[in-house]
Structure 1
Amino acid sequence: MSTAVISVRGISKCYPIFDSARSRVLHALWPKYERGVRQHWALRNIDFEVQQGESVAIIGRNGGGKSTLLEILTGTLQPTTGTVSVHGRVSALLELGSGFNPEYTGRDNVLLNGLLLGLSREEILARFSEIEEFAEIGDAIDRPVKSYSSGMMMRLAFSVQVLCDPDILIVDEALSVGDFFFQQKCFNRLREMREKGLTLLFVSHDMGTVRDLCQKAVYLRHGEQVYAGETQGAIRRYFAEGGEPREVPPPVQPPNPEAVFPQLPPDTAWSRPVAAGKPLFAVRILDSNGCDTVAVHLGDTIRVRIYFQGGEEVERLRLVLAVKNRYDQIVNSTSSRRLGFMQIVSTERDWSAFDFEMDLRLEAGQYSLRVGFSSESLVSNRGVELDTTDWFGPLEVRWDYENESAPFLGMFGLPVRGSLA
């Protein structure tokens, strides 16, 4: 027997867009009037189920339809077509501050939100001290909410929603606000609730968090459901999108029909079909044991193995590896030529592989990588770019700063030495 607590069947949402006020009025009076009326489909044929106790992420680029879908699930928006069935008490953290009256104090808003969630006044008062303690906003609990910072607002909203024992919790990017340690506290509470049977629907652009928190994912692109299934498959498609939707090129015959290219595992960090004119065809991130990985500890050594087709100018080719943090800052960039490799192309086969070996002395967080393939110019230092990957990842660097002494503090671990003078 199915234990689905959320069932979405053929959901579509269409918004009419009017060229003028006249067309808006005429359409309202006569729905069949279509002159000057265009249709924008925010969602088309969304179909999935969430079982009791599952954690499911809704991911996609901005404009993908994620927030529209959540509004339909919470009942604040009606679909144009399709049906939604939700069973259980639902708590939702959608737009920051939604459900709060800015003129009321934090204490009054806790009572108001508890009543809206279906609790009695006595039940709310019995849990109030726990809510107040979890939020950690001190005397601000008795000040009007309009005086709160966004971080204080998130603390109180999250505390109310999770401590009212929901059956289903829906979170839409709200946890991106606030300090790092309170975010840790929130995620720890979510994991505890998940173990007790909470059904979680989570929206985030942080793929490291999605991977860590959710068992399954639904990937939306321009209002259409591209994928629903295991989290890793959805994340791979998310990063392959590269900001704009594009068709995956069909496999083509390698330049040499007799060439034998390596059989790669399905969880490579980046890959595409072998094709003429595109030398790069795969990148793997390997841990110290030679296993493909997407998460390592601070200070670990990894190898970024790059697979590419050979070229005619054997001695002038180079690979470039760049690493970028979550704030879009390049934290490191190096090349095979900089490391002293004058030749990187195999002369024995039609493909080559090169390893960049890195000690990850970077602070904990998520990082993306990109590989470039170029031919050095004889007249400048820039060279001629022959091929490049998209930014792929994320590679997560982990460290428990609260319970373990870190080898360094800050963004990087520079090689520092000490001596008695």
Structure 2
Amino acid sequence: MSTISVINLGKAYKQYANRWDRLAEWLIPFFPQRHQLHWVLRDISFTVQPGEAMGIIGINGAGKSTLLKMITGTTTPTTGQVQISGRVSAMLELGMGFHPDFTGRQNAFMAGQLLGHSSLEIGRLMPEIEAFAEIGEYIDQPVRVYSSGMQVRLAFSVATAVRPDVLIVDEALSVGDAYFQHKSFDRIRQFRKQGTTLLIVSHDKSAIQSLCDRAILLYAGKIAMEGEPEAVMDYYNALLADHQNQEVKQEVTDEGKVQTISGTGEVSLVDVALLDESGQPIEMAAVGQSVSLRVVARCHAEVPELVVGYMIKDRLGQPVFGTNTFHYKRKLHDLQHDGVITYHFDFQANLGPGSYSVTVALHAEDTHIARSYEWRDRALVFNIINIDKEEFTGVAWIPPVVRYSA
């Protein structure tokens, strides 16, 4: 069974005031230590069950790559331990281990042997590796003439030529072209269906939410949150805008989902509702029905500028559509204390059948990053049903006009 267990893992580096302190500590081992420990990660514990996919997110410098290096054994932890069972394939900085003077084929054989494959096995897999990488005649050219994208293609093809029990990926595909990224993620999804345990670090929200069962947010070297990918991503987005004395909190909704609320509180959300053509609140709408999203906000201070935005997400938390009043040149200025503002966003519900949520943002300027008064995830949940439209799949209703000629 392929399991990843991380137990009280920590990593610290020694910091010296100057080089002489480093030399003195080395020459006089029994002398009082002359360094201080700088902890990059501390008290990290989690378990990834067989066949489960775990995503790791966090700002740059949060310790994501260091964590993966300790898990794969390329860096020794200061505290704690890692236990992994099964065949492991790790993709950290794809292609960095290639020798520039050797051909792609030669590097493929060497990389495959490092993964534990025999020369005969690599020879048998080589046609499939070449076909997946799609670098053509460059397979027999020195790697020094490769682009970074070509190195990624070859390295990924070698690393995934045989389905691993555990697959670890660290932003490795971010430098590849869009076509190969889609192709690679399709292979990862196929591995998942076949039972591969996945641990992935990515800033790609869509990748984390579509691939992973759970997610971990690393912040300041510790686990800030662990849970469903959508809830963790919402909390991560709130932390990105966490400044100017903003408060970030989480609540559990009646449906049992975690809702993230953040902002300064100068303007708060009073009510949000989906209305039908007669202005009555509804929880269910038909595909293509005319609806209106009503957002009511209250000012708790004098506000120089207010922008109201919303984002419709599908059941997986993937964005379907979002906009705000800044882009429609409908922002408000010089709002007074205790003033109440009501906005209506009228649109056709050209959505596919399913459950959707609405995130509402009250802020200044074009995004909530500059100054966020309130950001509320899952402010509203509604359902779409297909009553009178032709059968279709997906989250968007884009009916075509069908033409043909014989």
Deviates more, 1:91-100 or 1:200-209: 91-100
**Distance of aligned partners of 1:131 and 1:337 in 2 relative to their CA distance in 1, 3 Å threshold:** closer
Structure with a larger share of its residues in strand:
2
Equivalent residue, structure 2, for 1:364: none
Q: What CA deviation, in whole Å up to 9, does each residue of 1:335-361 have, x standing for no partner?
A: 59955999x99x9xx976534346799
Contact 1:4–1:49 (CA<8 Å) still a contact in 2? Answer: no
Equivalent residue, structure 2, for 1:172: 170
| Distance across 2 between alignment mates of 1:51 and 1:287 | 43
The correspondence for 2:189, drawn from 191, 213, 218, is 191
| Distance across 2 between alignment mates of 1:87 and 1:80 | 22
| Distance across 1 between alignment mates of 2:66 and 2:99 | 23
Q: Output the TM-score relative to the length of structure 1.
A: 0.69
Is residue 69 of structure 1 aligned with residue 58 of structure 2? no
**Distance of aligned partners of 1:117 and 1:389 in 2 relative to their CA distance in 1, 3 Å threshold:** same
Equivalent residue, structure 2, for 1:201: 199
- How many Å apart are 1:87 and its aligned residue? 0.8
Alignment of 1:3-402 (within 5 A): 5-30=3-28, 33=31, 37-242=35-240, 249=247, 271-272=261-262, 278-281=266-269, 306-310=295-299, 319-321=307-309, 334-335=325-326, 338=329, 354-357=343-346, 371-372=362-363, 388-389=373-374
AA matched with 2:168: I
AA matched with 2:221: G
AA matched with 1:227: M
Contact 2:259–2:377 (CA<8 Å) still a contact in 1? Answer: yes
Counterpart of 1:163 in 2: which secondary structure? coil
Q: What CA deviation, in whole Å up to 9, does each residue of 1:297-352 have, x standing for no partner?
A: 9x9999766452256999x98544499xxxxxxx975359955999x99x9xx976
Over the residues paired in the alignment, what is the CA RMSD in angstroms? 4.5
| Distance across 2 between alignment mates of 1:266 and 1:272 | 19
Equivalent residue, structure 2, for 1:413: none
| Distance across 1 between alignment mates of 2:171 and 2:371 | 38
| Distance across 2 between alignment mates of 1:198 and 1:23 | 48
Counterpart of 1:101 in 2: which secondary structure? coil
| Distance across 2 between alignment mates of 1:210 and 1:386 | 27
Counterpart of 1:91 in 2: which secondary structure? strand
**Distance of aligned partners of 1:283 and 1:216 in 2 relative to their CA distance in 1, 3 Å threshold:** farther
Contact 2:50–2:195 (CA<8 Å) still a contact in 1? Answer: yes
| Distance across 2 between alignment mates of 1:270 and 1:307 | 19
Counterpart of 1:238 in 2: which secondary structure? helix
Q: Which runs of 5+ in 1 are unaligned?
A: 252-262, 324-330, 362-367, 375-384, 394-402, 408-421
Deviates more, 1:142-151 or 1:8-17: 142-151
AA matched with 1:271: I
AA matched with 1:196: Q
Contact 2:103–2:143 (CA<8 Å) still a contact in 1? Answer: yes
Aligned length: 350
Deviates more, 1:283-292 or 1:169-178: 283-292
- How many Å apart are 1:99 and its aligned residue? 2.5
Counterpart of 1:63 in 2: which secondary structure? coil
| Distance across 2 between alignment mates of 1:305 and 1:91 | 50
How many percent of aligned residue pairs carry the same amino acid?
37
Equivalent residue, structure 2, for 1:327: none
AA matched with 1:388: Y
| Distance across 1 between alignment mates of 2:274 and 2:173 | 31
Contact 1:93–1:172 (CA<8 Å) still a contact in 2? Answer: yes
Q: What CA deviation, in whole Å up to 9, does each residue of 1:338-387 have, x standing for no partner?
A: 55999x99x9xx976534346799xxxxxx9953269xxxxxxxxxx996
- How many Å apart are 1:242 and its aligned residue? 1.2
**Distance of aligned partners of 1:190 and 1:305 in 2 relative to their CA distance in 1, 3 Å threshold:** farther
Q: Output the TM-score relative to the length of structure 2.
A: 0.71
- How many Å apart are 1:98 and its aligned residue? 2.7
**Distance of aligned partners of 1:336 and 1:144 in 2 relative to their CA distance in 1, 3 Å threshold:** closer
Counterpart of 1:171 in 2: which secondary structure? strand
Q: What CA deviation, in whole Å up to 9, does each residue of 1:266-294 have, x standing for no partner?
A: 76886248x8x5212489798999779xx
**Distance of aligned partners of 1:250 and 1:28 in 2 relative to their CA distance in 1, 3 Å threshold:** same
- How many Å apart are 1:90 and its aligned residue? 1.1
Equivalent residue, structure 2, for 1:377: none
Contact 2:307–2:331 (CA<8 Å) still a contact in 1? Answer: no
